[in-house]
Amino acid sequence: MDRDIDDEFRQHREHFELLDDIVGRRQGRRVRNPSVFKRRLDPLSALSDTEFKSHYRVNKPTVLKLAEVLGLAPGNFRGRPLSAVQQVCVALNFYGGGHFTRVAGLCQGVSQKAAWWAIRRVTNKLCEMKDVFIVLPTDEEMAETANDLYARFGLPRFAWGIDCVVVKFTEAPRKIPEGTVKQNFWSRKMCYGLNVQIVGNHKRLILDIDANWFGSANDARIWKNSAVKTVIESQQGATPFLLAGDSAYPLSPFLITPYTTEEALNDPTKRRFNRKLSGLRTVVTENVFGVMKRRFPVLNMLRANRDNARKHVIAIACVHNICIRWDDEDPNGPPPPPTIPPDVDNAHHFTVDATRLAGLLTRDELRLAMDTRGRR
């Protein structure tokens, strides 16, 4: 009897809600969306370990630890706020899916606005803690990198690699800084984007990142104005650790670049040096970009204004380092081994000054002292 009364009451309530929606639309009132808290997903219990990693690109212990480190727990439970774990999962789903915020919210059972706020909180918190997750190595860590790279490529003293990548926008960026125009973001890749510089090592850790430059900025210009340049060039001692770069960078005693095509044409040792340096750069920089874009496809095409796009890049770089330091393996598997194509001269020519002459001498010393064993 009571069940029949409950069913009849539920039917009447649904009819009244339907009538209220119809009258509200006719009167021009905004119809309130239904509450969504009842369909929120608890990803830790609802998904298996394999499904969880496929959706969020990291495993469950990493999410739990990251939620604790970021300190995202709500101060109170008024309005049924998202938990710290739910916020991290929404952001990771957005990074790993490369889709719109409404899709990230739908996957979690929350509204688009709630998803947007969660992504914003997590991204801002990761950017605030950038100096915790992205740090320059100690002397012991640099020595470890140099020994590993020497064993693999026969080139001594290399502890870093540097390179830039164009992170594309889907369209002309919005909310650009004052004093710039949209054409500043038009890159050599024939698209709008940011030119992001990273410094990496043999573990594919990002040691420094600069995402402040527009797409048309040259790699050498970014390096010249970067703070990490001062740090690397302030090393003391007769045999400082070296930075490997491509031919877009100016040669110096600290930054070693390949020989040009003309220089290596008639000298087999210079060609061998170029091949070894190319393989080394693939490990410390090129593979880093590939791993990040495979794990977090949102980097393939950014749908955000300039400031938010920059924050997304830095936040993903932080998560990339977290996964390496916390032994969270890439769901796509390890990257392919480095291929060593012949180096291509990009026609950037720099004036021959004292710095370049010193770099020429350092590079020649490395070429003559390199280990010639193996095929590389």
d(CA 202, CA 222): 23
Residue 140 clears pLDDT 90, i.e. is over it: yes
Average pLDDT over residues 169-177: 90
What percent of the chain clears pLDDT 90, i.e. is strictly above it?
Answer: 56
C-beta of residue 173 within 8 angstroms of C-beta of residue 159? no
What integer is the mean pLDDT of 39-49? 83
Write down the residue that tokens 């794990």 correspond to: 295
Average pLDDT of the segment spanning 292-302: 92
Contact 281, 163 (CB under 8 A): yes
Region 29-54: what's the mean pLDDT?
75
CA–CA separation, 270 and 171 (whole Å): 42
pTM beyond 0.95, yes or no: no
* Residue whose pair of structure tokens reads 């003309």 in the numeric block: 262
Segment 137-166 shows an average pLDDT of 94
DSSP 329-359: --TT-SPPPPP-PPP----------HHHHHH
Q: How do beta strands 206-214 and 255-256 pair?
A: unpaired
H helices present in the chain, as ranges: 2-26, 43-46, 49-56, 60-70, 84-97, 101-108, 112-128, 130-133, 139-153, 219-224, 227-233, 261-264, 268-281, 287-295, 306-325, 354-369
Candidates 61, 32, 33, 46; CA nearest to 108 is 46
